[in-house]
């Protein structure tokens, strides 16, 4: 039995944050009914056509769900929503601020009718405050949360290459829902969860916030290198390839000097004998490291790092990740269906094939509309009438 088997989730979702949250609930066995706009659906369906004609964002966040099309501005469609919520456990939404209130689907209204229902609202800035109605997209939240100020080169900030603000909010919503389900098992009552992208990303700002406490200088942008630990980042070898490495303590620094650089005297050099001093003299130390690595290939450097038990990594591109030998050795890839055929998919972290994680197909728009309506007691004539009216 999967952990969330028997849990029913109804979701009004688009883009990434809410879909990523509910996909993880589906991975654990929850039934997720995704309500989409007739004709167009979740606008993430149209972001690109990279996956056999389907959008890369959409196939990533929407497997194992059922797609139901409803025009919820119509009374007959809203009645279907309430029929779904009657025995639902969780309602998730990331519509525009105020949209659920206008539909009578906000928590304050729903809790009177469905006291066991857990309602999770995901938004850019939260349900109140001066930024409540401000539009929020991933890159905007990366900027507002301070993430851009610490990411990039000294000359220019850079965004994260994936939707990190959406992912952050989706993860916090997912874990909060799991906690609420446990709480409801004890109290019998549902609750409201209010997750904002801004607060999720500010939480992830972690040590940079505290590093800059009391008006102190914030971490500086240093490209792919760590801002406050050195050496920790990419270094170029003589064959033009770069190796990522990281030191965490003075024992490793000594081994790095002895085994990797083969300059043991550097370990006691007054400029470099603590992390703070190495950071202060990073330009000088960086030049010494690049000079030593210049006589070696990237493979040679990695061999020395492994010998010294210094953490290191390849700087992989996406093609290398698809072919990563560690993922293959651990059998982390499986396949899921889509309207355009099967595609590879990573097993959920923490799960194994023996756990039988749910890896059902990515749905076509409205694929499950008829089946869900029939389940709710609608016959073919009523369904046909709903379709003719544009309600579904």
Report the catalytic residues.
166
How far is 367 from 373, CA to CA, in rounded Å?
Answer: 12
Structure tokens at 10: 């109804």
Residue 228 CB: number of other CB atoms within 10 A? Answer: 14
Q: Which of 83, 73, 68, 58 is nearest to 11 (CA)?
A: 68
- CA dihedral sign of residues 104, 107, 111, 112: negative
How far is 281 from 249, CA to CA, in rounded Å?
Answer: 17
How far is 63 from 81, CA to CA, in rounded Å?
Answer: 21
Write the CB contacts of 75 (distance below 8 Å, at least 6 apart in sequence): none
Region class of 254: left (phi > 0), else alpha (psi between -120 and 50), else beta: alpha
Longest dimension (CA), the chain: 86
Element (H, E) at 383: helix 380-389
Q: How far is CA 164 from CA 16, 116, 156, in A?
A: 10, 32, 19
Q: List, in sequence order, every beta strand (DSSP E) within 237-288.
A: 242-246
Element (H, E) at 232: strand 232-236
Where do we find the tokens 């009718």? 113
Write the CB contacts of 216 (distance below 8 Å, at least 6 apart in sequence): none
Q: Cβ(56)–Cβ(318) under 8 Å?
A: no
């Amino acid at each position: 039995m999967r952990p969330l088997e028997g849990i029913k989730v109804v979701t009004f979702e688009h883009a990434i944050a809410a879909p990523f949250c509910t996909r993880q609930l589906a991975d654990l066995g929850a039934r997720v009914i995704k309500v989409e706009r007739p004709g167009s659906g979740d606008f993430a369906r149209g972001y690109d056509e990279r996956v056999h004609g389907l959008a890369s964002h959409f196939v990533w966040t929407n497997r194992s769900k059922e797609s139901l099309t409803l025009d919820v501005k119509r009374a007959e469609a809203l009645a279907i929503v309430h029929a779904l919520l009657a025995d639902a456990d969780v309602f998730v939404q990331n519509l525009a601020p105020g949209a659920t209130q206008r539909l009578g689907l906000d928590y304050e209204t729903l809790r009177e009718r469905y006291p066991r229902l857990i309602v999770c609202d995901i938004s850019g800035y939260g349900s109140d405050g001066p930024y409540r109605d401000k539009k929020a997209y991933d890159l905007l939240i990366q900027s507002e949360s301070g993430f851009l100020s610490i990411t990039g080169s000294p000359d220019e900030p850079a965004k994260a290459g994936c939707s990190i603000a959406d992912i952050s909010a989706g993860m916090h919503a997912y874990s909060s829902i799991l906690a609420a389900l446990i709480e409801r098992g004890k109290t019998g009552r549902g609750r409201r969860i209010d997750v904002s992208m801004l607060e999720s990303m500010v939480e992830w700002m972690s040590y940079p916030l505290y590093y800059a406490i009391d008006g102190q200088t914030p971490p500086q942008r240093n490209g792919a290198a760590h801002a406050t630990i050195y050496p920790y980042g990419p270094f170029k070898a003589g064959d033009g390839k770069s190796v990522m490495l990281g030191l965490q303590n003075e024992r490793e620094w000594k081994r790095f000097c002895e085994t990797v650089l083969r300059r043991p005297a550097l370990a006691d050099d007054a400029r470099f004998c603590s992390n703070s001093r190495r950071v202060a003299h990073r330009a000088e130390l960086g030049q010494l490291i690049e000079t030593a690595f210049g006589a070696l290939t990237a493979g040679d450097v990695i061999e020395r790092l492994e010998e010294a038990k210094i953490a290191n990594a390849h700087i992989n591109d996406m093609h290398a990740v698809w072919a990563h030998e560690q993922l293959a050795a651990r059998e982390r890839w499986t396949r899921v269906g889509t309207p355009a055929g099967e595609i590879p998919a990573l097993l959920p972290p923490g799960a194994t094939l023996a756990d039988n994680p749910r890896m059902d197909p990515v749905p076509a728009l409205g694929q499950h509309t008829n089946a869900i309506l029939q389940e709710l007691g609608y016959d073919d004539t009523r369904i046909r009438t709903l379709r003719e009216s544009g309600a579904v």
